[in-house]
Chains A and B, each alone.
Chain A
Amino acid sequence: MIDIVGKRGWYFLISALIILPGLIALIIPPGWASGQSGLNPGIDFTSGSVLQVTFAAEVTEPQIMERMVQLGHSEALIQKTGNRSFFIRTKLLAEPEGDLISEREIVERDLEEFLTLERDKVKFDSVSPIIAGETVINAFYAVLAASVFILLYIWYAFRRVPKSYRYGVAAILALVHDVIIVIGVFSILGKVLNIEVNSMFIVGVLIVAGYSVNDTIVVFDRIRENTIRFPDRNLAALVNTSIMDTVGRSLNTSFTTLFVLLALLLMGGPSIRGLLLVVAIGAVAGTYSSIFIASQFIVIWDRGEFGKLIGRGRQATSATASLLMSLIGR
C-alpha cells in the first residue's frame, strides 16, 4: 500500500507554496495592506453600471472606447466576451429625469448609430454604493455561519469516534484552505489578467466551501468506520487505509464535477464564467485538501506534531520568497 500519511509534512508545504503567492497578492497594495480587498472588484462590490452588448458588425475594443470617451465616459472599461459581444463597465449611469433620457439610453443610441449595436440584445446591470458595501461583509458572515454549523454537525455526526471535534476542526481547516486558494488565485488573476469578481464569485466560493466539506466527509466517514472496526490499530495506519479506500470515489466525483462544469461553460454567459473557474479550482483544491490536508491534520493533531508544520512553513516562506525574487529579477 502507498504510504500517504508518512509524507504528511510535505503536503502542507505544497499547499503553503500555492497559498503564499495568493496571500501576497491579496496583501500587497492595493490589497489588505492598504485597506482594500486585494481582489479586482466588479460593480457588485463597488457600484457602477455594466452593459452587456452585441454588435451586428465586427467591432474592436478601441472603437468602443473611442465612442465612450466621446460620450464623456473615459472611465469606461471594455472587455471582449465573445464574438462581437462585449462588457462595457462605467460608473453609475444617471437615471432619466424629467424630460432627460437616461444615460444608458444615450450610450445605447450612440453605439447603435456608430457601431451597429443590436438594441434588442442588451443586458444592463447597475448597483449603487449602498448595496455594494453590504455584499462583501455579508458574504464573510455567511461563510462564517456555515462553517460554525458544519463544525457542530460533524462534531455530532462523529460522536462515536474519540475526540470527534477534531474532525470538525479539520474539515473547517480544509474548507478555509480551499477558500483561501480560490481567493488567492483570483487576487493574482485580478492583477495579471484584470479578472473581476462579482456576486457570482461569492456564489462560487460558497459552492467551494460546500464541496470541500462534502469531499472531506467522505474520507472522514471511512476513518470513522475503520476506527470503530479496528480500535486497536494506530490512527496513522487507519487514515492511510481510509484514504486508499476512498481514492476511487474521490477521483470519479471530481471527474463528473468537471464534466458538469464543462457543460456549464457551454451555457456561456460571461457573467457565469468566473463562477466556473472558481468552482473548477475549488473542486481540485477540495479533492486535494480532503486527502492531503484534512486527513493528515487529524494525524498531526493526534501526534502533536505541530512543530513539524511550522518548520515546513518556514521552508515554504523562503521557497516562495526566492521564487518571487527570481520572478522580479527576471
Chain B
Amino acid sequence: MLGNWIGGFFGSILWMLFPSSSRERSIRLSVLVVLILAVSVASLAFREVRINLPGSSQFTRGSTGPLGLKLGLDLRGGGHLVYQADTATRVEVVFGEALTAKQIVDAANEIQIPISVKSKGNNAFGITSDSLDEPTRERLKKGLEDKFESLQTFQAIETPAPTPDQMEGVLDIINRRVNAFGTEEPIIQTIGDDRIIVQLPGATGSITRVIFSEPVEREDVLTVLVRQELPFTSLDQENSRAYRIKSNTLGSAQKSELEAELARQLGVVIESFQVTSGIDEAKALIGQTALLEFKERTCLDPFCVEYQDSEIGLTGDDLERADPVVDSTGVGWSISIQFNDRGSEIFSDLTRRIVGVESKRIAIILDDEQLLAPVARAWIRDGRSEITGNFTREEVRTRSIQLDSGRLPVPLKIIQESDVDALLGAESLKKSLMAGVIGLGLVMIYMVAYYRMAGLVAAVSLVVYSLIVLAIFKMIPITLTLSHIGGFILSIGMAVDANVLIFERMKEEVRIGRTLASSMEVGFNRAWPAIRDGNVSTLITCIVLIWFGDRLGGGLITGFAISLMIGVLASMFTAVVVSRNLLQLLAWIGLGRRINLFTPERLRRAGDAAVGGS
C-alpha cells in the first residue's frame, strides 16, 4: 500500500522532471513546487512531526523552539564545555627549607620551563606543567637543585595521552554523570583524539538545596514556588525534608526572599539553605575522577533484590587491567580482570571467604552505580579472574572499558567554556527572529520597487525559500544557534542574487525586442552559468569550513557553514524552479503583454534608446 504510494510519488517526480513540452514541464514543475511547499509548511505547522515507517522505527521530529525547531544553547540558555584529557606532568617536590611557590615558579622560568606550583605544606609542593619529556624533566630537576640546594624529593608522574578506549570510558562516565545531573537533551561527544564536548541545555541557573527541620509535602513547596513566581524548572524531593530546586540564576535578594517565604508560608524552620551555580555543580560532577569499588555483598533474599554491601578496601587503584576475552567454551565472551599485588591479596581473601556461599556476591560499583555483581566460583589466589555470564561481545567490551576507566582515571581539564543564561538566550532568539523578518522584508521591498512584477515573483520565491530552509532545519534536525541564523540570513542575500541575475538578463532580452515569455526563457538560460559557478564556489567554501570546523572554534563556524550550505542549495532550487515557473505562469495569464509591469519605467526608456541605437 505504502510501497505503491512511494512508487507513485517518485514516479510523479520523474514525470515532472522529464517533460515533453516546455508548457507541460512548467506545469509539472509547478505541481512539484506546490508539493514541496505543502510538505514544508506541514512540517513546520505541527510542533511535532511523526511518521510511521513500515517495518522500521518511527520518524519523529520537533522540539521546543518556535515552529518546533531545535534551539541551541545560545538561544535557549545552557552551558557548553570542552574538555581535554590532561596530559600534564606532575612533580612532587620537597625542600629542606621554607620556600614560596613563587620562588619555584621563578626558578623554573629562569630555565624557560613554564610551570604552576601549589603549596602542600611542610615545604612540599606540587608542580604542574604541560607534558615534559625526559631531558626536560632532568633539566627542571637540575635547575631546582642548583637554585635550592635543599631539594630532597623530586618525583615526576607522567599522564600519557589517552587511548581511544580510555576516551570512550571517560565519555561513558561523563554520560552517566550528566544523566544523574538531570539535564534534558544533553550532547556529549568526542572530537579529535582527546577532547570531549559537553552541552548542557538549561544547566545555567541556580540550584537551591533546602533542608527543612521536619517533613514537608512536595505539593506545599510547589505552591510556595508558584506563588513566589519563581522561574523554576524543576523541583526534586530528595527525602521527606530535603528538596532540590532548579531555577533561573537567582539574585541575592531573590535568594533571601525565597528562604524567608518558604519558612513563613510552610510554617517550618529551615535547617539548611544552599544556593549553587548549576554550571559549577555540573562541572564539579563531571570533573571528578571515576571511583570504582569492589564490595562484598550479602543478599537478604533468594533473588538478591535486597542486599547489604560492605567495604573491603578494594578499589580501581588495585585493578591492573580488564579485557574482553573469549571464554573457556570458546563461544561466549567474558571479562578478564587482573589485580595488582595488594588487590590480589584482598581479592584472594574475599573469594576464599565467599566461594560457594549462596548469599554472597562481589559487587562492582562505578560512581555509586552497579556495573556487575558476580558470584565467586573459586578461590582466586593470583588476582587473575574471569567474569562470565551470558554476555554479548559488545557488553563485554563496554564493561571492560568501564572497569578500565575506573581503574585509570584520565584527568580532564576545561579548555573552552561558553554559558548563556536562559533569559539572555530568549532575548537573542527574539532579536534574531526579528532580524530575519526585517532582513527579508527590506529585501522584498527593494526587489518589488526595482523590478516590479518580477520583484514580486522574487519576493514570493524568497518566502518559499525561507519555508523550505526552515523545514530542512527541522527535519534533519539541525540545532539552531546564532551562527546558524547568521548563515541563514546571509544566504537570503545569495538567494536574491540569483533572482537579480535572472531579471537583469531578462531585461536585456526585452530590450532587444523579444517577447516577455521568450525573454524569460533566454534570460534564465543565460543567467544560469553565473548562478551555478557562483554557488558552487560558495559551496566549496562551506565544505572547507565544515571540514576545518572542529579546529576553528568548533560549533560556531560549522554551524554557520552548514546553514549557509543548506541555504545555497535551497536558493538554487527556488531561483531555478520557483522564480522561473512563477514568471512563466504570469506570462501565460496575460500579463506578458504588459512589459512595463516587469521593468522599471526609466530602464525601459533606456532600453528603447538602446534598441534604437543598435
Contact = CB atoms under 8 A, between A and B. Distances in A.
A, B bound: yes
Interface string A41-53: 0001000000010
Contact of A154 (B436, B533, B544): B533
Contact of B438 (A96, A249, A266): A266
A154 B532 CA distance: 11
Contacts of B482: 269, 272
A127 B526 contact: no
B530 A146 contact: no
A18 B403 CA distance: 63
Given A122-B421, A141-B548, A153-B536, A217 B250 contact: no
Interface in B469-506: 482-483, 485-486, 489-490, 492-494, 496-497, 500-501, 504
Contacts of B415: 127-128, 130-131
A272 B283 CA distance: 28
A119 B250 contact: yes
A128 B557 contact: no
B434 A199 contact: no
Nearest to A253: B497
Interface string B542-572: 1011011001110011001000000000000
B552 A153 contact: no
B252 interface: yes
A76 to B, nearest CB: 18
B535 to A, nearest CB: 8
A125 B450 CA distance: 44
Contacts of A259: 439, 442-443, 446
A218 B530 contact: yes
B interface majority secondary structure? helix
Contacts of A222: 530
B63 interface: no
Interface string B404-436: 000000000111111111111001100110111
Contacts of A279: 490
A301 interface: no
B552 A202 contact: yes
Given A131-B416, A199-B556, A150 B537 contact: yes
Contacts of B84: 130
A132 B432 CA distance: 28
A120 B537 contact: no
A260 B493 contact: yes
B552 A139 contact: yes
A44 B494 CA distance: 29
Contacts of A150: 537, 540-541
Nearest to B281: A96
B431 A268 contact: yes
A209 interface: yes
Contact of A124 (B82, B252, B417): B417
A59 to B, nearest CB: 15
A10 to B, nearest CB: 27
Interface string A243-273: 0011011001101110110111011110010
B537 to A, nearest CB: 5
A253 B423 contact: no
B548 A145 contact: yes
Contacts of A30: none
Nearest to B556: A199
Contacts of A203: 483, 486, 556-557, 560
A217 B544 contact: no
Question: Which residue among B204, B446, B551 has the maximum number of chain A CB atoms within 10 Å of its CB?
Answer: B551
A287 to B, nearest CB: 12
Contacts of B446: 255-256, 259
Contact of A207 (B276, B490, B556): B490
B553 A275 contact: no
A126 B82 CA distance: 10
A145 B431 CA distance: 35
24 contacts: A96-B280, A120-B249, A122-B204, A122-B249, A123-B421, A125-B418, A130-B84, A135-B553, A138-B551, A138-B552, A142-B547, A154-B533, A154-B537, A199-B553, A214-B497, A249-B497, A253-B497, A256-B443, A259-B442, A262-B442, A263-B440, A264-B486, A264-B490, A266-B438
Interface of B: 74, 82, 84, 204-205, 231, 248-252, 276-277, 280, 283-284, 287, 413-424, 427-428, 431-432, 434-436, 438-440, 442-443, 446-447, 450, 482-483, 485-486, 489-490, 492-494, 496-497, 500-501, 504, 508, 526, 529-530, 533-538, 540-542, 544-545, 547-548, 551-553, 556-557, 560
Given A96-B280, A149-B540, A150-B537, 8 more contacts: A105-B280, A119-B251, A154-B533, A203-B486, A207-B490, A249-B504, A264-B489, A267-B434
